[in-house]
């Protein structure tokens, strides 16, 4: 949700800022802007649209050595030039990621003092308040400290003050911000990929810490304004992990990394059919709640079926934005699992904090190392997906599914099940090598599509239909196969695409009956299964390898992802940056 990059150093700032912003475009991409210092003055350039539009309006070779940039996902105010960041008021120029919840209150207070506002954003209140406080006390650090304590909501901020054009100031509360040092200067950024072209060493600002950064020096203050030392972290990986490397789209590249992602995740937790100490020993939980958003929520659904089947522990799965505002019932032996690729999703983070306050054990399943959710949960289990750039998640979904299957084995106390994971990477590779275009051609010129399945296959339907919706804007809807006849079957007409998933022996024939019901009403059925039967109830079939139920969803999701990709391509959609979406949703 919005990306921030700043640079101060001996090298030219604009190429560094633009290169960083391009890596952060997945956080928002409806407008962009930079503020930089030239001949002792602040210059601000902003454009609606993608970073490429901003790049076209800038002279990258400008002799500027200090600047802050922003790519926006609009929350308050339409994505036009005036609402784009940076925002300047008086002597303060600011880029912001997050939402200021009390901005109306603050704005009214400042308007009463005669301060004028130009935009519809919540952000503009920040430079205005900084400037107002600065008029009372001319100490930039103290003013930032005072101002951020008056803000409610979430923020990561890059700040420049006209009275100190040699420094960038940075601070945060509940929105991520890192600082990186390279031999000739410093960066601030919302996320590590932004700096990987230059360095893989960084430090993480904690809530309400304030950094003052200039060409030779970085000073970090805590919220009592004492100077503190921060631990330097190293990102394992290279900028190649965040590059296209010859693929046409990040989504395709990331799907093709899935065999590796599976192996990396499995090998991180298991050696010779035994769990390593990276998998924590857990007490006997009476019940489990899984809380997440978007695709991570659907992984939760898969996990529910696996954990209930193999470990006989009841599992409740909830969307985080609902869970945090409802009455939840715990026992002292409830475990709450939060699943999040980014580890920064605002609703998931808020749910985690609430559960912790209630004294319940929490576990985070996270991809981004040292993210807020990773740092705050009692147990943190990392998936080994590496940086995921495409907005629609694919490899992280597969890694999360792998890890939840491993956690199921742990909870079931039946390590024999680990043998079922053997050879799955080869199955993944084989599935990736197939051509899915012919199936996509049957779907792409329809406005609606239906996914049906039972049990764990239904969970996969949810993810398959979400992939299609987000990447190709087809209204793809999922139903439990047995429930169709209770209403939804009225939507099936001649040639309606129906993707039917049927991988479980125990209910195979039941689902086949439901497929026949839609076929009889004219549906064009794509049948995804692991065991063919001699009967004519589908138009096309994808036969996936037959493996144990515990690992089967890891394979089933691959055709669904690649079909969504091919359909989006046939419809000329912006595959890696679908309209209206952002990858890391750090607002409620």
Among residues 127 and 300, whose Cβ is nearest to ligand G6P? 300
Among residues 50 and 583, whose Cβ is nearest to ligand G6P? 583
Residues 335-374 that bind ligand G6P (CB under 6 A): 340-342, 345, 348
349 vs 368: CA distance, rounded Å: 14
Least separation in angstroms between residue 53's CB and ligand G6P is 23
500 vs 492: CA distance, rounded Å: 13
Interface residue with ligand G6P among 251, 583, 586, 587 (CB under 6 A) is 583
Query: Which residue of the chain is nearest ligand G6P when measured via CB?
Result: 294
Residue with tokens 């196969």: 481
Q: State yes or no: residue 389 binds ligand G6P (CB under 6 A).
A: no
Tell me the per-residue interface mask from 190 to 209 with ligand G6P, x by CB under 6 A, - otherwise. --------------------
Least separation in angstroms between residue 191's CB and ligand G6P is 11
How big is the site for ligand G6P, counted in residues (CB under 6 A)? 16
Alpha-helical regions (H) of 270-382: 294-311, 320-323, 346-357, 372-376
Among residues 291 and 428, whose Cβ is nearest to ligand G6P? 291
163 vs 138: CA distance, rounded Å: 9
Q: State yes or no: residue 585 binds ligand G6P (CB under 6 A).
A: yes
Specify the stretch interacting with ligand G6P by CB under 6 A; choose among 113-121, 163-171, 402-410, 578-586: 578-586
Helix, strand, coil % in the chain, rounded to nearest 5: 35, 25, 40
Residue partners of 406: CB distance under 8 A and separation at least 6 = 265, 266, 269, 270, 275, 279, 418, 421
Least separation in angstroms between residue 383's CB and ligand G6P is 10
Cα 510 to Cα 116, 179, 483, 488, 502: the distances in Å are 66, 56, 12, 17, 10
Interface residue with ligand G6P among 93, 321, 393, 427 (CB under 6 A) is 393
Catalytic residue annotation? 2, 583
Among residues 190 and 341, whose Cβ is nearest to ligand G6P? 341
The reply to whether omega before 86 is within 30° of 0 (cis) is yes
566 vs 475: CA distance, rounded Å: 16
Among residues 402 and 511, whose Cβ is nearest to ligand G6P? 402
57 vs 60: CA distance, rounded Å: 9
Phi, psi of 426 (to 5 degrees): -70, -40
Residue partners of 574: CB distance under 8 A and separation at least 6 = none
At 397, list the tokens.
């979904």
Least separation in angstroms between residue 397's CB and ligand G6P is 8
Tell me the per-residue interface mask from 285 to 324 with ligand G6P, x by CB under 6 A, - otherwise. --------xxxx----------------------------
Residues 50-109 that bind ligand G6P (CB under 6 A): none
Q: State yes or no: residue 432 binds ligand G6P (CB under 6 A).
A: no
Helices and strands per DSSP (H, E), number in the chain = 17, 27
- Contact (Cβ atoms closer than 8 angstroms) between residue 517 and residue 523: no
Least separation in angstroms between residue 470's CB and ligand G6P is 7
Residues 113-132 that bind ligand G6P (CB under 6 A): none
Which DSSP string corresponds to 301-330?
A: HHHHHHHHHHH---EEEEEHHHHTTS----
Among residues 249 and 583, whose Cβ is nearest to ligand G6P? 583
Among residues 54 and 585, whose Cβ is nearest to ligand G6P? 585
Contacts with ligand G6P, residue ranges (CB under 6 A): 293-296, 340-342, 345, 348, 391-393, 581, 583-585
């Amino acid at each position: 949700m919005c990306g921030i990059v700043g640079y101060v150093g001996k090298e030219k700032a604009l190429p560094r800022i633009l290169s960083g912003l391009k890596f952060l475009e997945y956080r928002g991409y409806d407008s962009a802007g930079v503020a930089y210092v030239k001949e002792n003055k602040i210059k601000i350039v902003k454009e609606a649209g993608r970073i490429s539009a901003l790049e076209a309006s800038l002279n990258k070779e400008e002799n500027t050595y200090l600047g802050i940039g922003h790519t926006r996902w609009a929350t308050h105010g339409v994505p036009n030039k005036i609402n784009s960041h940076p925002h300047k008021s008086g002597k303060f120029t600011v880029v912001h990621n997050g939402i200021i919840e009390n901005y109306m209150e603050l704005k009214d207070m400042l308007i009463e003092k005669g301060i004028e506002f130009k935009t519809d954003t919540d952000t503009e209140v920040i430079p205005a308040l900084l400037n107002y406080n600065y008029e009372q006390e001319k100490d930039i650090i103290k003013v930032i400290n005072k101002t951020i304590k008056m803000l409610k909501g979430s923020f990561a901020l890059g700040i420049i003050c006209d009275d100190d054009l040699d420094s960038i100031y940075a601070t945060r509360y509940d929105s991520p911000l890192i600082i990186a040092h390279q031999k000739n200067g410093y960066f601030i950024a919302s996320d590590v990929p932004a700096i990987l072209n230059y360095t893989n060493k960084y430090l993480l600002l904690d809530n309400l810490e304030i950094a003052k950064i200039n060409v030779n020096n970085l000073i970090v203050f805590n919220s009592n304004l004492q100077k503190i030392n921060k631990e330097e972290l190293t990102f394992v990986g290279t900028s190649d992990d965040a590059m296209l490397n010859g693929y046409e789209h990040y989504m395709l590249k990331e799907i093709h990394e899935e065999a590796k992602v599976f192996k990396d995740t499995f090998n991180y937790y298991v050696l010779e059919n035994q769990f390593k100490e990276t998998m924590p020993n857990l007490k006997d939980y009476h019940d489990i709640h899984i809380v997440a958003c978007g695709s991570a929520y659907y992984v939760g659904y898969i996990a529910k079926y696996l954990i209930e089947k193999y470990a006989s522990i009841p599992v409740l799965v909830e969307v985080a934005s609902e869970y945090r505002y409802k009455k939840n019932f715990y026992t002292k032996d409830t475990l709450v699992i939060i699943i999040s690729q980014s580890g920064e999703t605002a609703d998931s983070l808020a749910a985690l904090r609430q559960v912790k306050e209630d004294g319940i054990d929490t576990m985070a399943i996270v991809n981004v190392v040292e993210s807020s959710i990773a740092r705050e949960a009692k147990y943190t289990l990392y998936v080994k997906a590496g940086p995921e750039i495409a907005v629609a998640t694919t490899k992280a979904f597969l890694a999360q599914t792998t890890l939840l299957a491993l956690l199921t084995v742990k909870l079931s106390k039946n390590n024999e099940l680990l043998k079922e994971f053997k050879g799955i990477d080869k199955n993944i590779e084989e599935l990736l090598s197939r051509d899915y275009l012919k199936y996509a051609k049957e779907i792409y010129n329809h406005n609606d599509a239906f996914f049906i399945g039972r049990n764990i296959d239904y969970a996969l339907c949810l993810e398959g239909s979400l992939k299609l919706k987000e990447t190709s804007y087809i209204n793809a809807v999922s139903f439990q196969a047995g429930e169709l006849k209770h209403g939804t079957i009225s939507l099936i007409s001649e040639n309606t695409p129906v993707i039917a998933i049927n991988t479980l022996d125990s209910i195979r024939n039941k689902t086949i009956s439901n497929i026949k019901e839609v076929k009889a009403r004219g549906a064009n059925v794509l049948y995804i299964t692991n065991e063919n039967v001699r009967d004519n109830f589908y138009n096309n079939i994808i036969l996936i390898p037959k493996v144990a139920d515990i690992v089967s969803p890891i394979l089933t999701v691959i055709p669904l992802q690649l079909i969504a990709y091919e359909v989006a391509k046939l419809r000329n959609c912006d595959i890696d940056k679908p309209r209206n979406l952002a990858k890391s949703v750090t607002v409620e």
